[in-house]
Each structure stands twice: as structure tokens, then as C-alpha cells.
Amino acid sequence: MSPASVFNNSPMPNKSTLITQSTDGSIDSNATEIWARYHAIQRNDAVKNVFVQELIMRYEILSQEYKSAVDNYNTEREEIRKWQEDKQRYAQALQSYRTSFAGAPSGPSFERDPFVLVLLDADGIVFQDEFFRSGELGGRDAAHQLHTAVQHHVQRELTDVPTDLRIVCRVYANVRGLAEVLVRIGVVEEITPVLDFVRGFTRGKTLFDFVDVGPGKDRTDEKLNECFKLYLNDFHCRKIFLGCSHDNGYARILEGYSANKMYIEKIILLEGVPFEKELLHLPFSTQKFPGIFRETKLSVWSAPPSNNRTPPPALGRLWAAKAAVPPPVVAELPIYKPSNREEIIARNRGGQRVDPPCRDYDKAEVDRIKKMKLCNVHFLRHECPFDKKCTHRHDYTPSNSELSTLRLVARMAPCQYGSSCQDIKCIYGHRCPAPEAKKSVKGQKPCIFGEDCKFPFELHNIDCAVVKTLVIR
């Protein structure tokens, strides 16, 4: 047997055996060193394995990061490619638009048809009284004066606006509601002159329109706001005069444009009545055209609010004469003081005021009494703060029958405080006196006048059965 085969078939000696045999001198005395070297190699192999595993893990992480970076790069490159294509397409479209609409070899369509826009909320920015009194001629005159004022302002103040621009005006209001208020405060005797004014204003200038939005909350605001937003970014529209100084609600709309220099330069706030507080803080420029708009708000009752019971708008027509030219001393309105006896206001089950019966309607008699121009306040309340300066008649002694008709005429105008009114001497109506329509439409006024009725919806179908009274002492 060869030495090698013997060595291969022999069991692996352990360290203690080698050491013992080394003592006997049969094995090399360097066995201990060999084992130490062997264990060192084992340790090195373990370190090498850990290092290789770490390299593999790092490679895998780097591979994943590289793949993600490549994916992101490809995505960004695709987005950049699409953006460049869109940019080129838009540039071509813009150039085509400019070329097709070019007005002259020297300039594109941007220079064509410039105009300024005037937008008015006429429920609060109200024209001067004399315009309404003059009917259609007043409307034409108002349109002419407004056009001239805007034109002069543009020529004098706005150097960046072409001189050949046109002026477009849109006025929005509930025309019938406005007319009824003007009647109640005595600006006009009936609504016809106001309707004629609206027609005259629209006819006064070809680009001027007075738009009747009809009754309903916020309809004027909605119309004006949408028109404002439509033209705000129109490059043909160089300036917008916005007449809304009476209403803080417009501040909500304008605040969204108050940080943009382009909008700040384009919008001009037009003043009628003094600006409300929230509008004053906006960065837009303001302009006032004296002599065109009222500088005081329409009010059917101008007495200051109080915790005490105050009269209803029965004297509104008379106060209007004072409002037109404010006097140095305001006449003191007599406040009704009940006598020592108890007086009552009749109420129905829902707490609504129930007016006492009135004489039957006689159209001929009603028309006759109206033409007499009797002062309702003087004859029905027995008080008038303007006495001899009153614009209606005091120098007449009406019969009981005529007083009954006069009371009926007064009742045909709705009380501002509605069915909750607590003035014992109120002469106005607290429910609609008109007969009910044979066929009524749900959600509309049920009387024969329908939506043309002066009384609001809630003053129809009032229960007239008295179940309780409010005692006035």
C-alpha cells in the first residue's frame, strides 16, 4: 500500500493527538502553527463571504435604483417631447390666428376693436332722481352723460388705451322692484316713468343695455358676475368699470383678482353711494362721476334703527323730498303715542297681523281718489313732518267714503315689515288684497296679478281668523 493511500484512508487526527505525537518526536513539531494558519484561513474565508454577500446586495440595490432612474428619465423625456409638440402646435395656432385676423400689415388682431366695459348693479348704484322723472328722455340723457364721462376719463387718464375704442355698458336690475321703491319714496308717482327711463337708456346708445333680471334674490349679482368674468380676460376689453360700491358681497369676487397686476390695472371700481368697508381695502383704482348716480341709498324709511317701536315706511314718499337735498336739520318725525286706553293689533294663529276689513274695490272711485293727490299720512295717520312743504294735498276735507277709499289705496302698497309689523297706526297692507287666481302655479304668487303683484309671496293666503291680539298700552 502506498503512503498516499494510507494517508487518505486514515482518520483525520485531532489536535491533541498531534501534540502528543509531537512530544514523542514522530510528527512535525509545527502542527500547532499549521492549525493556527488553518483557522486564520477559515476566518478569512468568512470575511470574504460576508464581503461578497455585501457586494451582491449593493449591486442589487444599485440595479434597482438605476432601473428607477432610467424609468423616470424616460417618462420625463416623453413629457418634454409632448410639451415641445404642444408648444409648437400652440405657437402655430397663435400665428395662424394672428395672420387670419390681422387688420392691417402693421399689426395683428389684438389692436382691433378695443373697448371698455361698464357694468352696473342698478339695484344699488341708482341713477339720479331727475333722470327717472323725465322718463325716456331721462334714460337717453343718462346714457349720454355716462358715455361722455367714461370717454373723458379714458382720454384723460388712461394713456395705454387707444383713443378710438368703444364704450359698452350693461346695467342690471330688478326693474319693477326698483320702480316700486322709487314710487314709495316719492321720486315718481307711478312706475311708468321708470319703465320709460329703462327703454330710453337702452335706446340712448347702441352699445348700452339696461337688463331687467326680474324678481329674485341675487339675480342681479349673478348676471353681473358672469358678465364680468366673461370679459375680464378678453384682450379686446381694455378696462372694466364695475359699479358695485353699495355691496360688500362683490368683495368676495374681487379678492380673487387682487394679487394679479394685470387685473389690478384693468379693473376700475365705480362709485355711486360711498364704498362699503370691505371694498375700500381692495387695491383697485376707483372713479366717481358726479351728477349721474345717487350718493345716498334708496330707503323707504330713513329713521335710524332703535330698540323702540318705530313707524313703518308710511312716510317714505315724504322723506324722499328731504333725501334729494339733505337739509341742515332733519325734520323730527312724530312718533305715535297711544292714548291711555288699551289698543290692539289683531293676530292669526301663526302670529301674523290681520288687517281690519276695508271697503270693496271700486276702480272708478280708486282712480278718482288717486288723481286728487291726497296725502295718505296726513289724512290716515293725522301727522306729516313736512306740513305745508308736503308735495301732496292737505287742503281738503274728505268724506268718510273718500277716507275709506284712501285707506284702500294705501293698503294696496305692501308694508315693509310685512305681517310682523307692530305699528298700530300703519296704513299699508299686511297681506295681498287681490282675489286669488282661478288656477295657481305652485311656487308662484296665487293672486290674479301673479308675479306682477307688488306683495311678496309670503303675504299671500294670510289666515284672517283672529285668535290673539297684541296689546299696546
Q: What is the pLDDT of residues 195-221, one digit of tens each?
A: 999 999 999 999 999 999 988 777 888
Q: At what angle do helices 363-371 and 400-411 cross, to 10 degrees?
A: 90
CA distance 380 to 424: 12
Minimum mean pLDDT among 31-35, 106-110, 243-247, 446-450: which range? 106-110
pLDDT of residue 473: 45
Nearest to 430 by CA among 444, 443, 416, 451: 416
133, containing H or E segment: helix 129-133
With cut-offs at 50, 70 and 90, classify the pLDDT of residue 331.
very low
pLDDT tens digit string along 381-412? 888 877 777 888 899 999 988 998 998 888 88
State pTM to two decimals: 0.47
User: pLDDT tens for residues 262-302?
Assistant: 999 999 999 999 998 889 889 999 999 999 999 988 865 43
Angle subtended by helix axes 192-204 and 135-157, to nearest 10: 40
Q: CA-based angle 158:200:129, to the nearest 5? A: 80
Q: Kindly indicate the confidence band of residue 18, based on its pLDDT and cuts at 50, 70 and 90.
A: very low
Provide the pLDDT for residue 321.
Answer: 35
**Which pLDDT belongs to residue 148?**
94
Neighbours of 339 (CB within 10 A): 8
pLDDT at 300: 54
Is the distance from CB of 220 to CB of 159 less than 8 angstroms?
no
pLDDT tens column, 52-90:
888 899 989 999 999 999 999 999 999 999 998 888 888
One-letter amino acid for residue 353 of the chain: R
Residue 14: pLDDT band (50, 70, 90) is low
Task: Give the Å distances, CA to CA, from 387 to 210, 322, 373, 381, 394.
Answer: 38, 13, 15, 13, 8
pLDDT of 168 > 90? The answer is yes
Collapsing DSSP to helix, strand or coil, 116 comes out as: strand
Check whether 324 has a pLDDT greater than 70.
no
Cell numbers for 100? 387670419
- Read off the C-alpha cell for 40: 486564520
Share of the chain above pLDDT 90, in %: 27
The two most distant CA atoms of the chain are separated, in Å, by 162
With a cut of 90, say whether residue 95 has pLDDT above it. Answer: no
Q: What is the mean pLDDT of the chain?
A: 79
- Domain ranges in the chain are 109-288, 313-472
